[in-house]
Amino acid sequence: MEAPSWRNYVTQGSFFLFINLEEESCPLKTIKIEYEEDGTRKTVELSKGIVSLVNRSIKVESEEVYGVTLPKLDLTLATSDRKVYQKGDSAKILVWAPLKASSRLEVFVYRNDQLEYEDEVFLDSYGTAVYTVPDLELGEYRVVVGEAEASFTVAEYTLPILRAVLEDYKIEEDILKYKIKLLKLGEPYEGPLKIGLYCDYCREVVREEEEKAVKGELSGEIFLKGHTGAFSLYLTTPTGETANIGIPLSKISEREPLVVKALGKVYEIHAAPTSGAVKARGLYIKQVGVETSPLEVSDITSKPVIKILSPLDIVLVVVYDLLSGKKEEHYYTDLKPGQVLKVDTSSPYTILLVGAMNKKKFYEYATPIILQSKPKLSIELPSKIESSRLKLVLHSPEKIKCILLIEDVRTQHESLEEKLASKTMRVLRESMIEFTRAIPPSLAVFLERRLPEVLAMETYSESRIMYRLVSQRGIVTSMQPLAFALPAKGAAGGKALEVAVTLERQLILLEELEVEGTVVREIELPDVDGVYRVKVYGFYDLGLEELEKTVEVSKPLALEIDAPTYISEGDLAEASIYYRCLGRGVLRVEYAGKVVTEKIEGSGRILLVLTKPTTIKAYLESDRRAVGAVKEILQPGLEKVTASRLVFLEEGAVIEAPRILVYG
């Protein structure tokens, strides 16, 4: 007769072994369990109990039982101040790695998937740093800092005339609900718009709708279902003005909620904003239901308190720190209804694993605990100013490190908080993947399809950049427009007025500072009409805060040029000169050896026909005020092809090559 097998009396769950030999029919008295703890091999014999499988391998009666290895969350984050640059610019890489403060991190800079150079960056006591990638060349860049990565593109581009600000958005059940503010030359845009939903995975506009903006406000909904993302909204007016708004955290792996059954309560954890949710460390968490359970947890955004609802023989609580990878085990026996178990979770990122048993019933739970932090940072600034001087007030009751970033709203910036939410969601999914009752199988694993990259191309064309770099105290970097003068009739004393040029690339200000109490900053913005995004990051301990507001600089005169970046001799292209004038004025335009002068009033545009490369200079004067704009249209240059990945095809073979980049 064969000896009785221990497997008939041991139940293996996702994270625990449940042992119960105290049945009359069980011939076994005890089972020998061997495992290693803190480098020490331990042996116990149990007749009834719960054994954790987390981050350990154990032997039951000398037979190997594989454990469960949970991932760690690396808080190292990196992002660039913008997503698109022009040749010759410098990219600023914002780095935050609080667990590696006062140390050095390796930096690897890649262009078109080829290593350009290696370097290192020193983190301050807050774990922050700003690393500069200078003298950018055309192409796709990837900057790897420790366990983090920032990517951006260098290409010749033109900022749109239409300014669109994503004021609010939510993603619920694959429906994007958005609220957008629209401005055109400082005035609220009102009228019809065509809305195109662009899917970055499909690389095309997958849905189109028509909406109407009222007093500069555009609200609507659009379905995302059936597409992977990430998504952007393409806005087009009847007269051809366009704007592009990226929707953060809209990939399917980011926008799908993580469903957690947390000891009697059912929660959804979202990376993107959603209604009715509590925000905790970049994530949006809300309770969506309840279920029958012998235990109940108080909340998953504060230090958890477990309440016993039904009699339980044994409860094993494993507190797993996602940051350190360490765990603590708490063993309880003979628990009665009404008893309370307080769990100390000093880490803001924890996985709470609970195994419970009562007679022949076994229970197993896994839930993340994301501790909500109390906001420390506040910002005050006007939403609209007429002068170019912006007064900004920062306040924090405790000393924190801040990075202040001011940029044109038409540029795009991937925020650190968005990256934190995306990384945290990915690690939480990996942690819960074994626990199929806590996460739907369809969400357990998301494999993002990667298509082959074939060629990347760069141009040798040299473009003249009308900026000079200004540095103050080594911590402020801004792009200042040069001044130029055009002769104009009616100028005081018959002389030309000197005007500030409205250029395509607007001010970028990056300042590092410490805030304790109230700090006031007086910031000089370009003396032209514009809309700017003011973003402030706050860093303290393991906390990250992010605040964002917009400010309009409203001037009596506004002037912008919308024209192609490149044109060859003999081509036929169109350029538009957009203007706004409070009262009557004179608009003068020089291009291709021609001079156009028009008397104007109010707002509008004039069209130019271009047939060769040229420099357009536009000048608007009214009531002793003047504003100018310059746009250089270049001759396409010789091109050098850099292969980031070569694919050899047999005759008749077809592949999709979505990342062929052509500059010129």
Q: Does 509 map to a domain?
A: no
Residues 262 and 363 placed together within one structural domain of the fold: yes
Average pLDDT over residues 556-562: 86
Residues 50 and 12 in one domain: yes
Residue range(s) defining the domain that contains residue 27: 6-65
- Residues 261, 243 share a domain: no
Residue 310: count other Cβ atoms within 10 Å of its Cβ.
15
pLDDT at 293 > cutoff 60: yes
Tell me the C-alpha distance between 21 and 49, whole Å.
9
In this structure, what DSSP letter does residue 6 have?
Answer: G
Residue 360 lies in a domain: yes
Domain's final residue, options 218, 247, 276: 247
Phi, psi of 2 (to 5 degrees): -70, 145
Tell me the C-alpha distance between 181 and 168, whole Å. 9
Given the DSSP bridges, would you call strands 84-85 and 148-154 parallel, antiparallel or unpaired? Answer: parallel
323 found inside a domain: yes
Last residue within a domain, chosen from 335, 370, 405: 370
pLDDT at 399: 94
> Are the beta carbons of 269 and 283 closer than 8 angstroms?
yes
- C-alpha 393/C-alpha 454 separation (Å) is 49
How many angstroms from the chain centroid is the CA of residue 367? 25
CA 567 to chain centroid: 35
Q: Is 364 a domain residue? A: yes
Same domain, 199 and 281: no
Distance in angstroms (rounded) separating the CA atoms of residues 486 and 597 = 12
Residue 559 lies in a domain: no
Q: Count of domains in the chain?
A: 3
Determine if the pTM surpasses 0.85: no
**Residue 207: how many CA atoms within 13 Å on its side-chain side?**
17
Q: What is the pLDDT of residue 632?
A: 87
Q: H helices within 526-644, ranges in order? A: none
Distance of CA 434 to the CA centre of its chain: 28
Confidence of residue 95 (pLDDT cuts 50, 70, 90): very high
Q: What is the DSSP string of 581-608?
A: EEEEEEEEEEETTEEEEEEEEEEEEEEE
Average pLDDT over residues 28-44: 78
Q: Is residue 191 part of a domain?
A: yes
Residue 389: HSE in the Cβ half-sphere, 13 Å Cα cutoff: 4
Same domain, 170 and 224: yes
Comparison of pLDDT for 158 and 652, the residue scoring more? 158
| Residue 293 belongs to domain with CATH number | 2.60.40.3080
Q: What tokens does 566 get?
A: 């490149």
What is the rounded CA–CA span in Å between residue 635 and residue 653?
36
- 192 and 166, same domain (yes or no): yes
273 and 305 co-located in one domain: yes
Residue 7 has pLDDT above 80, yes or no: no
pLDDT of 659 over the 70 cut: no
Among the listed residues 82, 80, 79, the one whose alpha carbon sits nearest the alpha carbon of residue 411? 82
Quick check: 656 pLDDT over 80?
Answer: no
The string of pLDDT tens digits covering residues 183-221 is: 988 888 999 999 999 999 999 999 999 999 999 999 999
Averaged over 280-305, what is the pLDDT?
90
In this predicted model, which residue has the larger pLDDT, 141 or 444? 141
Residue 506 clears pLDDT 60, i.e. is over it: no
Give residue 580's pLDDT band: very low, low, confident or very high (50, 70, 90): confident
Residues 279 and 240 reside in one and the same domain: no
The pLDDT tens digits for 228-245 are 989 999 999 998 888 999
Compute the distance between CA of residue 444 and CA of residue 441 in angstroms, rounded to an integer.
5
Residues 268 and 212 in one domain: no
Mark which of 247, 270, 290 sits at the end of a domain.
Answer: 247
Distance CA 406, CA 536 (A): 9
Structural contact between residues 478 and 470, judged by C-beta atoms closer than 8 angstroms: yes
Task: Read off the pLDDT band of 322 (50, 70, 90).
Answer: very high
Query: Which residues in 155-238 belong to E strands, given as ranges?
Result: 162-172, 175-184, 187-188, 191-199, 204-213, 217-223, 231-236
**What is the average per-residue pLDDT within 330-350?**
90
Please tell me whether residues 282 and 217 are part of one structural domain. no
433 within domain boundaries:
no
Handedness of CA 268, 264, 373, 69 (dihedral sign): negative
Say yes or no: 220 and 181 in one domain: yes
Instruction: Quote the pLDDT of residue 530.
Output: 84
Is the pLDDT reported for residue 643 higher than 60? Answer: no
CATH of the domain at 205: 2.60.40.1940
Q: Do 258 and 425 touch, CB atoms closer than 8 A?
A: yes
Q: What is the per-residue pLDDT for 648?
A: 58
**Is 40 part of a structural domain of the chain?**
yes
Residues 261 and 230 placed together within one structural domain of the fold: no
Query: What's the pLDDT score for residue 445?
Result: 27
